[in-house]
Chains A and B, each alone.
Chain A
Amino acid sequence: MNTNSKTKLPAHELAFEWAWQAVKEKDWKAAAHRWEVLRQGYPSHPATWLQNAIAHIETGDFEHAEYLLSHARQEFPDHPQTLTESAFLAIRKKECDAAEGYLQQARHKHPDAVQTWLKSSECAEEIGQLAKATEYSEKACQCSPDLPGPYIQYAELAMRNKQWEQALERWKKLRLLFPNLHVGYIRAADAARHLNRPREARQLILAQQYDTSILDNDSQNEGLQSKTLQSDKVSKQHNGHTSITRLLNLIWAKAIFNLRSEDHHNYLSYVWWILEPLIHMAIYYLVFGYLLQRGGENFPVFLLTGLIPWMWFMKAVSSSSNSIIAGQHLLLQVDLPSIVFPLVSLVQSTLKQIPVFILLFAFLWLHNITPSANWWALLPVITVQILLTIAFASMVAALVPFMRDLTYLVPTGLTLLMFLSGIFYDYRMIPVEWQSAFLMNPVAFLLQCYRDIFIGNSLPDLQTLGWWGIGSAVTCIGLAYAYKRLRYVYPRVLME
């Protein structure tokens, strides 16, 4: 095969590559020229004649093509393309009868050749026989299921006839067989656009750009549609953080997470919860009990019963005061009621007090103070303290964003309150005429309640306690309302 003249020629596959390149690039002029050249070397090879003819047809040089094809018909009468390309030329020259003549022969002689059916379909379409064209095109697909060409023709046929639905169907078939061919997506998108289905069109384009599994939920799409209709119900629950339980869950979770996070900061982590009040106690004991000799009998017990409830209150208030500002990055990204922030600080500092209270009980037990019948009163005392702390802490927290200068006043105010609450002295040591005024301070009153129970082994003033409880509860409700009213004000205040 590879020796055709005295000089040795390369294998024809290799040599033809040169011309095929031009064909691929649809540079028909170059193709015509290259096949011409190749024919000098390989005149017995049908491709050099037929392909050259095709190139000439494409450039419009029908005369030259006719010459080449008539030669081919003589030389290679059994080559299927001889007939089909002759028909191709005839179609181009609008000689449909002649084309049909060639194709009839081709269909008779070469029913297995794809070209036969492709060209037959083309010819039938040219003369307006749509049904025939479709039939031939189908045949072409059956002939060579491993080539995309026939499928493309099949789909394009539908496109040209504006049978968009059918075209979509056919492009889909092409995509199934040849998922990497872009034409299957792009042209299908065109068809979808003609059907006024832009969503489907976009999906096809995106599938081509990303990957085809985007189309897999094709069938689920209807299911999804019904899901969105139902989703009204789901979304109501989902909507923001309106339900109280949801809000409480969120506060609880955040408080626990914060505690977990804190313990990363220091080596002793949880031990500090207990260590800190003990150190405070040691300092006060040193100053008041030892240096000033003001302690009196059983001073450590007296000190601790006041100090521990006070530290609970103090920590809750001071940690809440700046909480809304500290949480602004969240507040500006999530639709969240701002009351969450002081409450998280409150829950967090309250949880930390639980082991401290256990420590207090252990300490009392060491000093031979054991639970008595009066200890049930601890329950209302602690409840009132919780209400009071919530009221106080959330009030301060609510004000700070509007008056940031308050942040400087909060520690000072708390120190003042500490001195006025009788933590390291008994209120009975102050002048009698001031004593009732002193107890008007709810914190001082609460500390006295604790001491009545633990040291005095008596019931506290339950009536006054009740009034403080009611007062605090009403304040809490009022504050909750204020927070609700100010809900959308806080993000704005923080942004400005």
Chain B
Amino acid sequence: MKPVITLQDVAVRYKRNGNLFRKKTYFEALKSINMDIYPGETLGILGRNGSGKSTLLRLISGIIKPDHGRVTNHGASVSLLALQTGFDPNLSGHDNAIFSGMLQGASRREVQNKLNEIQEYSELGNFFFEPVRTYSTGMRARLGFSISTIISPDVLLIDEVLSVGDQHFKHKAERTMVEKIQSQQTVVLVSHSHQQIARLCDRAVLIDDGISYASGDPHDVLDVYEERLEQKKT
């Protein structure tokens, strides 16, 4: 099977503290990442805090380019499941849904055709037409999740999922994710929860010290991860 996105020996470094009076220093977020994302799979990305997972997601979604190596996208739309991408608090949920949907790559008409679905899924009722500033945090998250769910890209990137709203909606959101994962949607999932990765992913990649340390069956990768954690402790 041909991968949808390929990363070859990718490195990213950030500039730090550089200005007129101080020497630039660099911080290497990623040193050498090799991985493929195949269509229809659910790929888990494991790694400790600060191991460069967010940078990796930005690379995959094409927001930044690497300093070294190559990221090849074979023509797939990728978007980050960001729960509140660019919400304008003064606009209604309806208007925010249109713009947010357009940001995620759909045309205005495509979004408009799906507005009913978004409203229904979000369970906001008539609040959908009220300004987002009147929403509770949970309601905002619900709206954001609903938009991303219904305007679904070819490759969905999920960073630490699903603390969405109340218990009921959280379950619903998780269920939807499960359905998506099941329905040939390509998903890249970043999670701290070992259980979640083991349960949901077809494959996992371990990122440690900026290097794609291991990849393969989630259970095997989790074993390697735990081993590494133990080593670090001692």
In the assembled complex, the Cα of A488 lies from the Cα of B85 at a distance in Å of 19
Question: Which of these, A202, A265, A329, A495, contacts B90 with CB under 8 Å?
Answer: A265
Flag B79-106 by CB within 8 Å of A: 1 or 0 each.
Answer: 1101001101011000100110011111
Instruction: Say whether B78 faces chain A, with CB atoms less than 8 Å apart.
Output: yes
Establish whether residues A334 and B178, one from each chain, have CB atoms under 8 Å apart when the complex forms: no
Establish whether residues B103 and A332, one from each chain, have CB atoms under 8 Å apart when the complex forms: no
Chain B residues near A329 (CB-CB < 8 A)? 86
Chain B residues near A335 (CB-CB < 8 A)? 61-63, 78-79
Task: Identify which of A217, A224, A228 gathers the most chain B CB atoms within 10 Å of its CB.
Answer: A228
Interchain nearest-CB distance for A31 vs B (Å): 36
Chain B residues near A225 (CB-CB < 8 A)? 40, 184
Instruction: Tell me the residues in window 211-228 of chain A with beta carbons closer than 8 Å to chain B beta carbons.
Output: 211, 214, 217, 220-221, 224-225, 227-228
Flag B128-172 by CB within 8 Å of A: 1 or 0 each.
Answer: 000100000000000000000000011000000000000000000
Question: Which of these, A205, A235, A241, A253, contacts B76 with CB under 8 Å?
Answer: A235
Chain A residues near B90 (CB-CB < 8 A)? 260-262, 264-265
In the assembled complex, the Cα of A235 lies from the Cα of B99 at a distance in Å of 19
Establish whether residues B107 and A253, one from each chain, have CB atoms under 8 Å apart when the complex forms: no
Give how many A residues have a beta carbon under 8 Å from the other chain's beta carbons.
50
Instruction: Say whether A203 faces chain B, with CB atoms less than 8 Å apart.
Output: yes
- Total of A-B residue pairs, C-beta within 8 Å: 124
Instruction: Tell me the residues in window 228-260 of chain A with beta carbons closer than 8 Å to chain B beta carbons.
Output: 228, 231-232, 235-236, 238-241, 246, 249-250, 253-254, 257-258, 260
Instruction: Say whether B182 faces chain A, with CB atoms less than 8 Å apart.
Output: yes
Instruction: Say whether B175 faces chain A, with CB atoms less than 8 Å apart.
Output: yes
Instruction: Tell me the residues in window 170-206 of chain B with beta carbons closer than 8 Å to chain A beta carbons.
Output: 174-175, 178-179, 182-184, 199-200, 202
In the assembled complex, the Cα of A231 lies from the Cα of B186 at a distance in Å of 12
Q: Which residue of B lies closest to A210 (CB)?
A: B175
Establish whether residues A239 and B79, one from each chain, have CB atoms under 8 Å apart when the complex forms: no
Q: Which residue of A lies closest to B16 (CB)?
A: A496
Instruction: Say whether B39 faces chain A, with CB atoms less than 8 Å apart.
Output: yes
Instruction: Tell me the residues in window 43-91 of chain B with beta carbons closer than 8 Å to chain A beta carbons.
Output: 58, 61-65, 75-80, 82, 85-86, 88, 90-91
Q: Which residue of A lies closest to B155 (CB)?
A: A235
Question: Which of these, A203, A211, A491, A496, contacts B182 with CB under 8 Å?
Answer: A203
Interchain nearest-CB distance for A402 vs B (Å): 12
Establish whether residues A232 and B88, one from each chain, have CB atoms under 8 Å apart when the complex forms: no
Chain A residues near B82 (CB-CB < 8 A)? 333-334
Establish whether residues B58 and A332, one from each chain, have CB atoms under 8 Å apart when the complex forms: yes
Establish whether residues A491 and B63, one from each chain, have CB atoms under 8 Å apart when the complex forms: yes
In the assembled complex, the Cα of A496 lies from the Cα of B80 at a distance in Å of 21
Instruction: Say whether B108 faces chain A, with CB atoms less than 8 Å apart.
Output: yes
Question: Which of these, B65, B77, B91, B99, contacts A239 with CB under 8 Å?
Answer: B77
Q: Which residue of B lies closest to A263 (CB)?
A: B90
In the assembled complex, the Cα of A227 lies from the Cα of B186 at a distance in Å of 13
Chain A residues near B102 (CB-CB < 8 A)? 249-250, 253
Q: Known: A239-B75, A495-B14. Contact between A210 and B178, CB under 8 A?
A: yes
Q: Which residue of B lies closest to A329 (CB)?
A: B86
Establish whether residues B107 and A235, one from each chain, have CB atoms under 8 Å apart when the complex forms: no
Interchain nearest-CB distance for A198 vs B (Å): 7
Question: Which of these, B40, B99, B108, contacts A228 with CB under 8 Å?
Answer: B40
Establish whether residues B14 and A246, one from each chain, have CB atoms under 8 Å apart when the complex forms: no
Chain A residues near B154 (CB-CB < 8 A)? 231, 235, 238
Interchain nearest-CB distance for A496 vs B (Å): 5
Establish whether residues B179 and A235, one from each chain, have CB atoms under 8 Å apart when the complex forms: no
Instruction: Say whether A206 faces chain B, with CB atoms less than 8 Å apart.
Output: yes
Which A residues fall within an 8 A CB radius of B?
198-199, 202-203, 205-206, 209-211, 214, 217, 220-221, 224-225, 227-228, 231-232, 235-236, 238-241, 246, 249-250, 253-254, 257-258, 260-262, 264-265, 329-336, 488, 491-492, 495-496
A-B contact pairs, 29 of them (CB 8 A): A199-B182, A199-B202, A202-B182, A202-B199, A206-B199, A206-B200, A210-B174, A221-B184, A227-B184, A228-B40, A238-B77, A238-B153, A239-B75, A240-B62, A241-B105, A249-B102, A250-B102, A253-B98, A253-B99, A253-B108, A330-B103, A333-B82, A333-B85, A334-B79, A334-B104, A335-B62, A488-B63, A488-B64, A488-B65
